């Protein structure tokens, strides 16, 4: 199947199933069948892409197309969103957008973004910032704590910044009552990126 046809097929499917997707978003007893179908349809265009659906503060339904932090997914994300038709009642967005604050959970692991402390090092030659990322209580479940940190980066820095402007990341455990001298938070890291790398 050509890329053009795959794009057209996806948006035709989305338009035909938007009512079912709206019901899914609003139903507290969610049956994920329609969401899995949405994911399958999107991945017929590119296996690197994932859909996220929600409602925004204006009560609009939102479809976010995300490459889930993968650099090779940037171009397919741009392509599929550029081909999006106007969908009544929906906002179509490429990449997870930066927000000043958000609370996230991953696979039973929950902590606030304030439990992440960062020591940044600008690498202006590569147009990136390398970071030492300290996570409070990370030793409890290192893999899931680190995955949640990546999600916080996508949502507070913005996914495009996370993919293109963050270089090397070194994860470190932080004890509950410990703080890192000279550290900054994710919002301050976003400002540092915006002021120095654009």
- pLDDT tens-digit map of 6-34: 999 999 999 999 999 999 999 878 788 99
Residue listed under structure tokens 């940190």: 149
141 DSSP 8-state letter: S
At 89-128, the pLDDT tens digits run 999 999 999 999 899 999 889 999 999 999 999 998 999 9
* CA dist., res. 193 & res. 122, Å (int): 9
Write down the pTM of the prediction: 0.83
Q: In which element (H, E) is residue 134 found?
A: strand 128-136
């Amino acid at each position: 199947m050509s890329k053009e046809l795959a794009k057209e097929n996806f948006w035709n499917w989305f338009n035909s199933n938007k009512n079912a997707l709206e019901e899914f978003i609003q139903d507290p007893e969610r049956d994920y069948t329609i969401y899995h179908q949405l994911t399958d349809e999107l991945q017929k265009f590119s296996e690197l892409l994932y859909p996220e659906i929600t409602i925004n503060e204006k009560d609009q339904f939102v479809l976010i197309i995300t490459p889930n932090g993968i650099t090779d997914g940037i171009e397919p994300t741009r392509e599929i969103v550029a081909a999006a038709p106007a969908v009544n009642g929906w906002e179509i967005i490429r990449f997870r957008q930066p927000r000043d604050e958000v609370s996230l959970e991953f696979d039973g692991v929950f902590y606030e973004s304030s439990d992440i402390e960062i020591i940044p090092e600008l690498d202006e030659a590569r147009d990136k910032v390398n970071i030492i990322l300290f996570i409070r209580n990370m030793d409890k479940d290192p893999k899931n704590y680190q995955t949640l940190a990546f999600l916080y980066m996508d949502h507070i820095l913005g996914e495009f910044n996370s993919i293109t402007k963050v270089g090397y990341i070194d994860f470190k455990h932080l004890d509950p009552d410990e703080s890192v001298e000279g550290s900054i938070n994710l919002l301050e890291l976003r400002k540092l990126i915006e002021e120095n790398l654009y």
